[in-house]
Structure 1
Amino acid sequence: MAAGGQRRRPVVALYERIADAIHDGTYPPGSTLPSEPRLAGELGVSRPALREALLLLQEDGLLTVRRGVGRTVNAHPPRRGFEQIQALEELLGTAAPLRVRGLLRTVEEPTDFTTQHLLAPAGAELRFWESVLVGEAGPAALSHEWAAADEVLERAHPAFAEALRATVAPERTSLLGILAAASRGVPLAGHSAVTATLLGRRRGEQLGRPADTPAVLVTQVVRVEETPVLAAKHMLPTGAPALAVLQSN
C-alpha cells in the first residue's frame, strides 16, 4: 500500500494544481481546457498522470466532458471537500463562540460504525472522544469522534498522529479540530451524510433536552487519499446554531 500511495501522490498534487487554477479563474467557468498533450506540456507532467487527475476532477464535479468540444469547467464548480473540513465548534460558532467540553476520552475496540467507516480490523485500538459543544445558551451539539489506529495514522498522516500525542488538554478540543490544525498542506477528502432523528433518552440528558426532541445527525468520514483517518457522528438538536450545508452541482 505504501508504494501505491507514493504513486498516487503526483496525481493528487496535479489534481490540486488544476483545481486551484479553476478556483482562481485561470480556467474560468464555461471555459474549455487545453487538449491533453498541450496541457501535459504546460504542466510538465505525463499524460497518464494528467488523465487520472482529470478523471478525478470530472468525478468531483469540476469538469464535464463534451463530445466534440473537450473538457469544460462547470458553471458552478463545487468547492473541494477538504476545504469544508473544519472543527464543528468553529462551523457552528460563527455567530457566538462555542467551547468543547469533553465527556469521555478513551480507547476502544471497533464498533460496527468504525469497522464500516474506518475499515478497522477486529482487535484494533481506536481513540474515541465524546464531547458536548457549549454556547452561551447551554449545550448546543453532541459529538462522537473516532481516530484511526495509531499505526494507520503513522503511515497515512504522521502529523495528525504526532498532534494527538502532543495534545495537552484534550477535554477542551475535538479530534476534528486537531486534524484540521495538523493538516496544513495535506489534502484531505471528506464525506458527510445528514439524517433526521430524535435525541433519545441518553443524548437528551447530555444536552439537557427531552428525549423526543427532533435532531439532525451528521455522519462524517475524513480521508487522506484512500485511507480514512477520522469518523464522527454529530448530533444537532432543534435550536442548535445553523450548520451551513453546501451541495455539489
Structure 2
Amino acid sequence: MRNAVLEESVKSYELECKASRETVLGLEEELDQERRKVVSNATDLDSLKKEKQVEDLQAKAQAAEEKLQLFLERVAKLLQGKSESFISPAEGDILQELDKLCNEYEEFLEQLSETMKVNSPAEGLGFEIRLKLVLPRAEQLFRQEAGALRESRRLTFNLQQKHEKVKILLSRADVLEDLSVEKAFYTLEQSQKNLLDGKELQTQLLRRKLLELEEEKKSKSFLSSVEENNTLLETRKLKKKRLSISKEN
C-alpha cells in the first residue's frame, strides 16, 4: 500500500515536471520567433540606415540653395543698371562661374534624387521646384527610420523580458524537479524506516515472548522438581511407616 502511494507521488511529480518543461519549450519557441523578428527588423534597419544619408543630404541641399541665393543676389546687383548688350570681362567670369555652380547644383539634385529613389523630374523645372520634390521624400524616409528604430527597441525590450521569463521558469523547473526527487526519496526513506521500525518492534515482541516462555518453562521445571521431592518424601515416609508396622507385628 505504501509503495503504491509512493509511486503515485512520484508520477504526480513527474507530470508536474513534464508540464513545466512543455511550458519552457513553448516559451523558447516563442523566443526564437521573436529573435527571427528582430533579425528581420535589423535587416530592414540596415537598409534604412543606408538611407539615413538623406538627412545630411537635405542639410547640404539647403546650404547649397542658400549659397546659390546669395550668389544670385550678388549677380543681380552687379548687372543692375548695365546694358544687356555689353558685358565686361569681370562680369563674364561671374556668369561663367554662375553657370558652373548651377550645373553642379543640378548634378547634386540628381544624385540626391537617385539616392532617395525619387522619380527624375521633368527637364526645365527650376531648382526650387526640384528641391520641393526631394524634400518630402527626405522627410518620409526620416519618419520611416524613426518608426523602425522605435519598433526595434520595442521588440528588443520584449525579447529581453521573455528571455528573463524563460530563465526564471527554467530555474523554477529545476528547483521543482530537485524538490520532487528529494521528496520522493524522503518518502521512500520514511517508508523503509517505518517498515524497519515495524520489523524491529515485532522482533522485540518475539524476544519478550521467548523470555516469558523461558520463565514459564523454568517455573514449571521448578514446580515439577518440588513435586518430585514431595513425592519422594511421602514415599520414604510410607516405607518407614510400613517397616515400623512390620516390626510391631
TM-score between both structures, scaled by the size of structure 1: 0.18
The structure with the largest strand share of the pair is: 1
Greater RCO, 1 or 2 (C-alpha within 8 Å, sep 6+): 2
Structure whose alpha-carbon radius of gyration is higher: 2
The structure with the largest helix share of the pair is: 2
TM-score between both structures, scaled by the size of structure 2: 0.18
